[in-house]
Amino acid sequence: MTNSSSGGDGEAPEGGPPVRLKLPDGQELLAVLRRRRLAEEGSWWYLVRLSLWGPSQRPDGSLVAMPEPVECWAPVDACEPIPGEDYDQVPTDGIRRPPPRWLLEATGGDQLVVHRVALTL
C-alpha cells in the first residue's frame, strides 16, 4: 500500500506522504503530513506542510515568485488520507503531559520540604 506519488497533478513535495487538507473556509489543498501528535484530552493533531508563494530576490534585485514551504498544525478531521499512500513512517508524538505540580526540596536531613509549583502556560 505504498505509492511514491510520482507524476501527475497529485504530486506532493518531499518529506512525508500527501494528505488532503480542508481549510476553515472549505477549500481543499494537497499537503504533506510531517508528524502526528496526541493531545492530552485525546484529540489528534497533524503537522502539515503546504507550498505557498513567496518572494525570492534575483541577483539583479528584482523579485520573482517561488514556492515557499509553510507548516501548521491541523486537527485530524481536517486531514484526509489519500488511498494508496503509506502513513506508517510518519513520526508520532505521545501525549504532552503538564509538568509536575509539586517540587520536593532536600533539607539535608531526613525530611523534605514540599513546594507547590504554580503553572504558567
Note the pLDDT tens digit of each residue in 48-57. Answer: 999 999 999 9
What is the chain's mean pLDDT, rounded? 84
Phi, psi for residue 38 in degrees, rounded to 5: -95, 120
Average pLDDT over residues 72-79: 97
Q: Report how far apart, in Å, the C-alpha atoms of 36 and of each of 25, 41, 77, 117 are.
A: 23, 15, 13, 30
**Residue 16 CB neighbour total at 10 angstroms:** 21
Q: Does the structure show a pLDDT above 80 at 6? A: no
pLDDT attached to residue 98:
64
Within a domain: 78: yes
Give 82 or 12, the one with higher predicted confidence: 82
Within a domain: 87: yes
Q: Does the structure show a pLDDT above 60 at 109? A: yes
- Count of the separate structural domains present in the chain: 1
pLDDT attached to residue 84:
96
Domain that holds residue 70: 18-96
Within a domain: 68: yes
Within a domain: 65: yes
Within a domain: 80: yes
Within a domain: 91: yes
Q: Does the structure show a pLDDT above 50 at 13? A: no
Which three three-digit cell numbers place residue 32? 504533506
Average pLDDT over residues 83-107: 82
Within a domain: 112: no
pLDDT attached to residue 45:
96
